[in-house]
């Protein structure tokens, strides 16, 4: 069988064995570079994808190759140079210079010039929203109108909204775009009433070709704001203008929202963007690292993505790395994880008021262990591993000192706690079961993953 035909059949079988998103991300651009002396050299477009495929899909690829060739095949993964086209975001392209596009007039419109489709990482959690936003950018006012994006903090709602604006501005620099927060819309109404400039207010909002309102849920319950937004919505929609709205919840769950507004919000396309999974967070780390001109190796990127679950916190963490003079390595990342951020950048995870005892009880419940056993002297693995998880959570979620954590766990030495935190931190990047367990415990505690 010729190499090209062999590889085509191998890819076809892989496509049947993995999800569509996984295939598109990991195997779509894979090439069989050589097959000689029982060694298959497989080329992949980036170091990150190579490391992920080697770690997770080596056995699958080897099994398929063995079956197709009838031989015991070894697989060698390499990175090949890739010429990129404007076909959407990629998880990592270390050889490609990232150019932040500045939309014409974007700054004056309060549009983030760095928020483009090219630097938006796509995974199963946001691929529908990404597809909808790109469709809207290509055909504003006719694709999905309104486009309503909802989800938690830092999932990419605002990025997609601004990406649409930058795309529109690149094609039509003079486009009338209005972007505001829901709270800002309310404040503008109040100011218009106080200064008797209602005509200017209406002229600003109702003439928009692209109207974008972030956190639109803030107008709910405000009678005047809802009344004016209803008429603004109708005016823009009637003239063929595109409307994009974001919220932390779907229209049906926004309390005190007038029914006529709820009906209009649901009249287009409503898309949920869930929290990014591990693979998507790795992609986000790489994209944002390039924007900060940071060189973050794949193992360090995985370490960050495994331990920093909020995307805005990822950006804050990378900003802290820009102050580190030494090369960024897993050891450097581990030393910073769990430490108190400087300059008010916030914690690694969203702030939640939880007590150390709650963490102890949640971990004990999750592993079906008595809390007293976790404080006791036993060092058996069924006890020691949950105890290390407590150490890790107390450090990363509460920022406690090693000494304080040791006191909570029966007076353990700070070096024992330090070892426990480092062990869990490092294993989180490679141990999928452990990552799921920690995620489950965080859900019990009400901590956003």
**In this structure, which topology does domain 107-273 adopt according to CATH?**
Rossmann fold (3.40.50)
What is the pLDDT confidence band of residue 84, given thresholds at 50, 70 and 90?
Answer: very low
Phi, psi (rounded to 5 degrees) for 410: 85, 20
Instruction: Please tell me the predicted confidence (pLDDT) of residue 105.
Output: 47
| pLDDT greater than 70 at residue 407 | yes
pTM exceeds 0.85 for this model: no
Task: Specify the CATH class of 356-445 in words.
Answer: mainly alpha
Condensed to tens digits (0 to 9), the pLDDT of residues 38-53 reads 788 888 887 667 767 7
The structural domains of the chain, with segments of one domain joined by +, span: 3-79, 107-273, 281-336, 356-445
Report the distance separating Cα 395 and Cα 389, nearest Å: 10
What is the CATH code for 3-79? 3.30.300.180
Q: What's the mean pLDDT in 146-155?
A: 89
What is the pLDDT confidence band of residue 440, given thresholds at 50, 70 and 90?
Answer: confident
**In this structure, which topology does domain 281-336 adopt according to CATH?**
Helicase, Ruva Protein; domain 3 (1.10.8)
Sheet containing 269-273: give its strands across: 177-181, 210-214, 242-247, 147-151, 269-273
Instruction: Please tell me the predicted confidence (pLDDT) of residue 107.
Output: 47
Q: Report whether 191 contacts 157 (CB < 8 A).
A: no
DSSP helix/strand/coil, 340 = coil
Instruction: Please tell me the predicted confidence (pLDDT) of residue 309.
Output: 78
Report the distance separating Cα 246 and Cα 223, nearest Å: 20
């Amino acid at each position: 069988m010729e190499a090209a035909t062999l590889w085509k059949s191998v890819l076809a079988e892989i496509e049947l064995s993995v999800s569509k998103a996984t295939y598109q991300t990991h195997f779509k651009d894979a090439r069989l570079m050589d097959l000689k002396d029982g060694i298959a050299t497989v080329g992949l477009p980036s170091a990150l994808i190579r490391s992920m495929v080697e770690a997770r899909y080596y056995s699958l690829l080897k099994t398929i190759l063995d079956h197709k060739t009838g031989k015991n095949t070894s697989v060698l993964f390499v990175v090949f140079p890739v010429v990129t086209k404007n076909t959407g975001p990629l998880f990592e392209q270390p050889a490609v210079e990232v150019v932040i596009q500045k939309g014409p007039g974007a700054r004056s419109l309060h549009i983030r010039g760095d928020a483009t489709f090219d630097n938006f990482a796509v995974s199963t959690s946001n691929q529908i929203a990404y597809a909808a936003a790109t469709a809207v950018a290509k055909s504003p006012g006719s694709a999905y109108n309104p486009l309503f994006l909802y989800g938690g903090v830092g999932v990419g709602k605002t990025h997609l909204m601004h990406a649409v604006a930058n795309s529109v501005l690149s094609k039509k620099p003079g486009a009338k775009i209005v972007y505001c927060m829901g709270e800002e819309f309310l404040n503008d109404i109040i100011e218009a009433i106080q200064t008797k400039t209602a005509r200017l207010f209406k002229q600003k909002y109702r003439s928009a070709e692209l109207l974008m309102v972030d956190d639109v849920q803030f107008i709910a319950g405000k009678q005047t704001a809802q009344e004016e937004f209803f008429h603004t919505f109708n005016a823009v929609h009637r003239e063929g203008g595109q409307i994009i709205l974001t919220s932390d919840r779907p229209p049906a769950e926004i309390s005190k929202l007038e029914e006529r507004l709820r009906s209009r919000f649901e009249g287009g396309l409503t898309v949920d963007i869930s929290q990014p999974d591990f693979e998507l967070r790795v992609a986000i780390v790489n994209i944002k690292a390039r924007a900060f001109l940071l060189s973050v190796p794949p193992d360090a990127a995985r370490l960050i993505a495994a331990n920093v679950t909020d995307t805005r916190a990822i950006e804050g963490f990378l900003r802290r790395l820009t102050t580190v003079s030494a090369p960024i390595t897993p050891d450097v990342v581990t030393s910073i994880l769990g430490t108190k951020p400087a300059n008010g950048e916030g914690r690694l995870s969203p702030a939640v008021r939880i007590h150390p005892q709650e963490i102890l009880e949640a971990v004990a419940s999750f592993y079906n262990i008595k809390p007293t056993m976790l404080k006791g002297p036993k060092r058996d693995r069924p006890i020691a591993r949950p105890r290390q998880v407590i150490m890790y959570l107390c450090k990363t979620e509460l920022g406690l000192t090693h000494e304080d954590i040791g006191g909570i766990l029966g007076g353990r030495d700070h070096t024992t706690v330090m070892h426990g935190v480092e062990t869990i931190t490092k294993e989180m990047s490679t141990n999928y079961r452990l990552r799921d367990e920690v995620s489950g415990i965080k859900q019990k505690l009400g901590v956003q993953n």
